[in-house]
Chains A and B, each alone.
Chain A
Amino acid sequence: MDTLLDIKDLQVFYKTELGPLRAVDGVNLNVKRKEILGLAGESACGKTTLVQAVLKLIKPPGYIVGGEVLFNGINLLKASENKLRQIRWKEISYIPQSSMNALNPVMKIANQIIDVIEAHEGKVRKREALHYIEELLVKVGLSREVAKMYPHELSGGMRQRVVIAMALALNPKLIIADEPTTALDVVTQRGIIQMLKDINKDFGTTLLLVTHDMAIHAEITDRIAIMYAGKILEIGLTNKVFSEPLHPYTRLLISSIPRLGSKQRLVGISGFPPDLRDPPPGCRFHPRCPFVMDICRKIEPSLLKFDLERFVACHLYSR
């Protein structure tokens, strides 16, 4: 099967004092084997919630309202505790946002990786495991000594790399990376992006890369999905989307990337993202859309196929 991960009609809300916040509201997305799929969008558009829902890591006040997440034919949302535990990390691993805090402060790095190995492969011999882990660390650009260290002895960038190494440990089929470079300096960013590219190329690991940084998407993703206010607005091959953006929002996103050498004024997008407790009727982007039509205010556009590899949710393109 070509599709590795199939997300259907996923809805995830948050309970608030003023009613449910519709963070992810009917998302349809699929991730193909061996590709790097980028998920782009402003902060608080629901990207992280979406990704956490895939791994069923949503905690109160968040709750999954409905939908399916099919991985190799298994619906992760309905799978048993045991099955889910087996799939986690071994098949799908996760590089969370702000990996600085993702490591256990009182355990040595090696032990944190050993425990995930043992959880899935059974008891291992410490020496062999240590050797494997050291190799892993070297692969992500860290020295062997890191294995014996504690998280607080490492810098933010180093910890990020540790989490990436950990994500690779069991050779998963899919790695979900949520803003893997946001808190890092540009040089480290470069290294990590390159590393992810290599992992995909050398091992055929599928990558779901979530970031608001369009430049990164331009650089390594094969396909890109644009998310806004809990909905997917456009999906397509990255170079096509960048050269011919269809959705007005996509157009504005791409034109907001500063380009070296050009003296163009930086264009932001006016207005603010909607309050997801009470989203606007019709198309969620219509209050900020420069091409808004009457129908946009009333009827919500569905994500429709535009082209072989292109989907867009906009009335400009529906017949």
Chain B
Amino acid sequence: MSFITIKKLKFIEPSIKKAFKNRIFLTGFSLYMILVIACIIGSMITPRSLTIVGAVEPMLPPSNKHPLGTDILGRDILAQLYISTINSSKIGLIAALIGTFVGSFIGFVSGYYGKSLDFSLRILIDVFLSVPSLLFLVLISALVRVVTIEMMALLIAAFSWPWPARQVRAQVLSLKEREFVYLAKLSGEGGPEIIIRELMPHLIPWMIANFVNAYLVAILTEAGLSILGLGPQMDITLGIMLWWALSHAAIFRGLWWWWTPPIILLIYSFFTLYLIQIGLTEIINPRAKVM
């Protein structure tokens, strides 16, 4: 078993080096990490009390005391922002992890074991892919009244598995037929060994790309649901901040400091995550030059 672990590590290290050489990936990754770390630090040094309704004087524009001002319910906006960003990221992380792992597993099983299992799983994947997931999420959140971050993440995860499943399945199908698998079988490698030593190194880059994609989509989805008022109401996320702002007509009351920061952070997040995605695509498929 340890022999397999060593082999895996040997393969990972040069790949990580390769990844960080790509300028686009590097830019996106570092920018996004800066945001996350800044918010983590920020949330640690800012007292929670500032985010409770009525904590401070409402509708104050940005000042030294409140760098991003306060909202109509008397909450400091910067304090909310730190926590919102972390929460949005948490949802993205949980949903993406679950979705990618479950999806990859299903896709793998479907592609590797083939026959009738593949047939039924493939149809399942295709159907789930053609269904507009947001609509179901809207339906479910409306009925279940999602309340916590974790619940939201699980809900989104329920619809983020098909895409990784399809990708991994396609990869496994094409890899299965390649010579090196036949060679491995001939040289006496057993099932699990083939999976780990021969197939995994090819699948892992895809799984990582899928993870980043699922992460981005999860944050996007949560923001959308929250703006509609279906978000995890017990907490704050960037989307929920926007919902509060819009419900109180922040734009037309001239409270620009309320709705601008969440939007800027959302755009910033999406843009940097997208850069990471492009970088990963270039690394996995060197012939595809996106820019």
The answer to whether any beta carbons of A and B sit under 8 Å apart in the complex is no
B: residues with CB less than 8 A from A are none
